[in-house]
Amino acid sequence: MSYNDGYVQQKPMLSFGQAVSSVLNKYATFSGRSRRSEYWWFVVFNLIVSVVAIILDSVLGTNIGSLPYGLFYVVASLGLIIPHLAVLVRRLHDINKSGWNFFWSLIPLVGTILLLVWFCKDSDRGANQYGESPKYV
C-alpha cells in the first residue's frame, strides 16, 4: 500500500553506530533528510568526542592558556563542524523546513528553544520538497 492509502510502515530507530556512520558517510551533504535518531545520536557522538578531546588536552597539557581546551579540542571541533551542520540542515529538511532556519539560533533563548522544538519533532510522513522520508516507507 502507498502513503495515500493511509498505511505507512515505520522503519526502526537507527542505532548509535548506524547514525554516526550515516552522518560521517554524508560528511558535507546538505541535501536530503535525516531522522531524529540520526541527528540526536550524532549530537551525543559530538559531545563525547568534545569531552574526550578536552580531557586529552588537560592530561597532555595542550591547553590554550588557562582555557580548559586546546589543540585536540580545536582539531576535533573543526573536523566535526561540517558534518554537524549538514545533519542539522537535513534534520530541518525532514520536518519540511529550510536549512536557513538554522539562523533562528542567533536570537538568544527564543531561537534556541524554537530549534530544539523543531529538532524533537517527528519526521514528515511521505515525501516533501526535500525528498522521500527516511523513516516511513
Nearest to 68 by CA among 76, 56, 77: 56
Over range 17-43, report the average pLDDT. Answer: 96
Phi, psi values for residue 128, rounded to 5°: -130, -170
For the segment 104-122, what is each residue's pLDDT rounded down to a tens digit?
Answer: 999 999 999 999 999 999 9
Nearest to 57 by CA among 83, 41, 76, 29: 76
How many distinct helices (H) and strands (E) make up the chain?
4, 0
Q: Is the pLDDT of residue 6 over 80?
A: no
C-alpha cell at 71: 589543540
Q: Is the pLDDT of residue 125 over 80?
A: yes
In one letter, which amino acid is 97?
Answer: K
